[in-house]
Amino acid sequence: RPDTGLETAVRFPADFLWGAATASYQIEGAVTADGRSPSIWDVFSRQPGAVANGDTGDEACDHYHRYREDVAIMSSLGLRSYRFSVAWPRVQPTGRGPANQAGLDFYKRVLDELQNAGIEPWVTLYHWDLPQALEDAGGWPNRDTAERFAEYAAIVHKEFGDRVRFWTTLNEPWVSAMLGYHNGVHAPGRREPAAALASVHHLLLGHGLATSALRSQDPGATVGITLNLAATSAATDAPADLDAARRIDGLANRLYLDPLLLGRYPDDVVADVAALSDFSFVEDGDLETISAPIDMLGINYYTTNVVAAPDGSPPDPGSPHPAAEDVRHIGRGAPKTAMGWEIDPDGLYRTLKMVADKYPAVPLYVTENGAAFDDEVVDGVVDDPDRVAYFDSHLRACHRAIAAGVPLRGYFAWSLLDNFEWAFGYDKRFGLVFVDYRTQRRIPKTSARFYADVIARNEVW
């Protein structure tokens, strides 16, 4: 990699957990194998116009059949940990009732392979593939889904609890609720703001109930949740801009952090959305359940928000922020990734610092961070200097946070493989490893070599 001579080497703590992450629907394929039933993504991706190019997860990276090769790639990169998700519809095809052993057996095979490779498994119980049968019964706006989730979590933990130390209940409840039920960009594609707010609560409740189920089965388990967080700032110090930042910070960050870590919903956010919901879905005891202590908090970080006050222009119909569709999203003018997301490594530092400063101490992990760029294979090689620079700068931000006292314990690159990037289909490539979807050939990118070197040296140099 180019030696600019401008940066100094930064060394990470000896026990820092280095990994990479994936999610079931994004990589597995084999959507009808061994008794798996449809998830909301199988159904949603078939709706015309829902996903770019009409792509679906039917084959994805065929990881269901190629997991051995994929674990071998993880070994070659020296990953210490691998974060993956379990597909609920493989384990409980209708979202309730007895476990489907054939579905569990797939993850058993993956865990065997990881164990042989000496790679620490990190299980996410829910990364958005809700059994369609539960959506048909009302989905996350329905309180019963939280109970069903806890039951499913207990099944998975009972089966794998002896071999898995790290458990994430939910990945990014903000995305599930707001993209799934408010702007409809993700499955199940509903545009019902009141239902989206009920989903927030039932997702968090599901997290709390699952956490307590896991603890009762193994008091020693390391249990937490992953949130996508983004430090949010105002375009100027004008009071109206500051208020816009307060609103978006409330909807994107505090609506999740406050109930989980402080045991209450933020009053200002509840007031902001009062015309949509009276929060009557909150029952006695729910906030105690939701705020039961966690052992770690996962943070997924991609970019930040810079916002300004409404200026009278029409509200954004695609906004993921209920009752804040009029807030203007202003860039900082920084270079963007292929997702159109501005690259702001300092934003990762600010996000970590915000959590550490404003909330009771909890070990933090960056459970996802990465970037899509327009990768190309040239002579069998995928050279991705932009992604190398992205990882380099964001890892330096992590190191600065640790030096400032933030209890950051590990980092997971998103993603191990190029994969099904939700509404963007296979167009957007986030992998350390390139996937040729015609042949399923895997080609580690330059960034994979870079990351392997970082792990081996335990430093960015």
Based on CB atoms, which residue is closest to ligand PNW, 57 or 159?
A: 57
Burial code (b: 16+ CB inside 10 Å, e: under 16) for 234-253 equals bbeeeeebbebbbbbbbbbb
Measuring CA to CA, how many Å separate 422 from each of 40, 63, 120, 143? 12, 17, 27, 26
What's the min distance (Å) between Cβ of 302 and ligand PNW?
6
For residues 391 and 457, give the distance between their C-alpha atoms in angstroms, rounded to a whole number: 15
CB atoms within 10 A of CB 32: 10
What's the min distance (Å) between Cβ of 407 and ligand PNW?
22
For residues 24 and 34, give the distance between their C-alpha atoms in angstroms, rounded to a whole number: 15
Binding of ligand PNW by 368 (CB under 6 A): yes
What's the min distance (Å) between Cβ of 458 and ligand PNW?
26
Q: Is 28 a catalytic residue?
A: no
Q: Is 414 within any annotated ligand binding site?
A: yes
Q: Is 26 within any annotated ligand binding site?
A: yes
261 has which bridge partners? Answer: none
Torsions phi, psi for 211 (to 5 deg)? -60, -45
Q: Is 368 a catalytic residue?
A: yes
Of these residues, 59, 113, 172, 342, which one is catalytic? Answer: 172
Torsions phi, psi for 130 (to 5 deg)? -65, 135
- Of 141, 145, 167, 143, the C-alpha closest to 156 is 167
Cis status of the peptide bond prior to 291, with omega within 30 of 0: no
What's the min distance (Å) between Cβ of 124 and ligand PNW?
9
What's the min distance (Å) between Cβ of 198 and ligand PNW?
20
Q: Is 101 within any annotated ligand binding site?
A: no
Report how far apart the first and last C-alpha atoms of the chain are (Å, whole number): 10
Cis status of the peptide bond prior to 48, with omega within 30 of 0: no
Q: Is 122 within any annotated ligand binding site?
A: no
What's the min distance (Å) between Cβ of 428 and ligand PNW?
8
# residues contacting ligand PNW (CB under 6 A): 12
Based on CB atoms, which residue is closest to ligand PNW, 74 or 154?
A: 74
DSSP string, 364-414: EEEEEE--------BTTB---HHHHHHHHHHHHHHHHHHHTT--EEEEEEE
Residues 413-432 that bind ligand PNW (CB under 6 A): 414, 421, 430
Q: Is 152 within any annotated ligand binding site?
A: no
Give the x-and-dash track for 168-207 against ligand PNW (CB under 6 A).
---xx--x--------------------------------
Binding of ligand PNW by 366 (CB under 6 A): no
Q: Is 171 within any annotated ligand binding site?
A: yes
Residues 227-286 that bind ligand PNW (CB under 6 A): 228
Binding of ligand PNW by 411 (CB under 6 A): no
Q: Is 421 within any annotated ligand binding site?
A: yes
Residues 16-45 that bind ligand PNW (CB under 6 A): 23, 26
**What's the burial of 328, exposed, middle or buried (CB within 10 Å: 0-12/13-18/19+)?**
middle
Of these residues, 113, 120, 342, 368, which one is catalytic? Answer: 368
What's the min distance (Å) between Cβ of 228 and ligand PNW?
5
Q: Are 83 and 367 in contact (CB under 8 A)?
A: yes
Based on CB atoms, which residue is closest to ligand PNW, 143 or 329?
A: 329
Residues 6+ apart with CB under 8 A from 290: 204, 205, 207, 208, 259, 260, 263
Give the x-and-dash track for 105-134 against ligand PNW (CB under 6 A).
------------------------------
**Amino acid identity of 150?**
A
**Amino acid identity of 295?**
D
Based on CB atoms, which residue is closest to ligand PNW, 92 or 124?
A: 124
Residues 206-225 that bind ligand PNW (CB under 6 A): none
For residues 368 and 365, give the distance between their C-alpha atoms in angstroms, rounded to a whole number: 9
Question: Looking at the annotation, which residues are catalytic?
Answer: 172, 368
> Residue positions in the annotated binding site for substrate?
26, 127, 171, 302, 414, 421-422
Query: Residues in the site for ligand PNW, rule: CB under 6 A?
Result: 23, 26, 171-172, 175, 228, 300, 302, 368, 414, 421, 430
